[in-house]
Amino acid sequence: MPAAPRGATWRRQIRSAGGQVIRRLGMLPAGTPDGHGEDAALLGTSWPYEVLVYFADTAEALYQIEQWYDTFRALHAEHPLVVVTRDSRTAAAIRRDSGLDVRTVAHYTTLDDVLRRSPTKLALYVNHNPENFTCLRFGNLVHASLMHGDSDKLVTVSNQTKAYDFSFVAGRAAVERMARFSTLYDAEARCVPVGRPQLDEQLRLREQTPRGPLPTVLYAPTWEGGQPSAEYGSLVSHGLAVVRALVTSGRYRVVYRPHPLTGVRDAAYGEADAAVRHYLAEAPVPAEGPGHATDTAGDVGPAFAGADLLVCDVSGVAMDWLATGEPIVVTRPTGQVTIARSPLLELAPALTVDDLDDVLALVDRELGDDPTRAERLRLREHYLGDTSPGAATRRFVEACERLMAVRDREVARVNAELGR
């Protein structure tokens, strides 16, 4: 191959130097890993971890892994676990907030070098970032998708799920959803129901939280989605009207919990978010108990613990709320969004834009009569499995152990085929 022209080499060197300066100064576009890895220190070494959690995102997506911290700590107590990132800022935040071991690896060759010497057997993923393929290349690991929520959004049956050896799901509802909507996918063989381990701590917290003098309604809309076909969010179409009706009635305390990504794709959602926050900040404090509030904490547990009814969109929040056993109202989007038929969406009262004038009467009825309670409690097991304290975490750890055993058998089989 002929040598590159001197001018081309010079331009590459300039671009490389410029990229290094941009990274050092923190001037990277949002969502771009800074590439400040520990590669030099890791090359030629091994590590003791049996489980690798691969998280290629930057700080904007931390909410996707934060909900797994308690569960990962429980797994780490039985099997050493490390979180691998591609961004040093993300690594610092995870290390600080989780107490887990974290390594930043900027280059595929470094990960390949370390894993060749290490006892790592299982790789876990909390999203479908395209960069996951950097780790999915390794055939001597078992790869399992965890995701960061279970919902009746059609995005939960994305074809990307097929990239992983197994998919951890909450319950039978998720297996049936995958079997129904994902073509050429053996859901029964590849879906592993483990419940929602995140709910273990949330349910304990709920049991310890006293009820307020006024019922609390939690409004927790989803974001606008990555594309119009996934725009399940109600904030623009429903948000202020719902909040205003409940507040002005004087019968309810309202807590608003926006999705962390609200407004990143559509500025109208950011404006609607600001309007709801401003309204609640200026609203009169109820005669009894705490005032209305906007909750932006990383952990949804306290918001769930203090709420008596949830108003939400078609999202993972609806699934998690089922564990509380309390009433739920699910909005319907106004755009051209496909809504899958599901037992929960067929049961829960639907709040369309045309129903907004009746939202107060709907909430009154659900909290007063709760007409769907018995069926909703039956659905809880269908969607989440056993929700007794600690059950889901135990199922998760046991499922990880089974997959590591599967990996060992497969590696032994391949080695035997190769005569090793």
Any long-range contacts for 350-353 (C-beta under 8 Å, 24+ apart)? Answer: 351/234, 351/238, 351/242, 351/311, 353/237, 353/238
pLDDT digits (tens, 9 = 90+) for 162-211: 999 999 999 999 999 999 988 999 999 999 999 999 988 888 888 889 98
* Mean confidence (pLDDT) of the chain: 91
Per-residue pLDDT at 153: 75
Instruction: Report which DSSP code applies to 238.
Output: I
DSSP string, 69-120: HHHHHHHHHHS-EEEEES-HHHHHHHHHHH--EEEE---HHHHHHHHHHS--
pLDDT band at 215 (very low <50, low <70, confident <90, very high): very high
Per-residue pLDDT at 26: 46
Say how far apart CA 295 and CA 302 lie, in whole Å.
9
pLDDT digits (tens, 9 = 90+) for 121-161: 999 999 999 999 999 999 999 999 998 878 777 777 888 99
Average pLDDT over every residue of 231-259: 97
In the block, tokens 């290390």 appear at: 95
> What's the distance, CA 266 to chain centroid?
20
Q: Give percent of the chain with pLDDT exceeding 70.
A: 93
Angle, in degrees to the nearest 10, between helices 198-208 and 69-78:
120
Q: How far is CA 1 from CA 4, 5, 13, 96, in A?
A: 9, 12, 20, 49
Per-residue pLDDT at 30: 59
Average pLDDT over every residue of 238-253: 98
Structural domains present in the chain: 19-195 (3.40.50.720), 201-384 (3.40.50.2000)
Average pLDDT over every residue of 238-247: 98
pLDDT band at 18 (very low <50, low <70, confident <90, very high): very low
Average pLDDT over every residue of 244-260: 97
List residues bridging with 216 in a β-sheet.
253
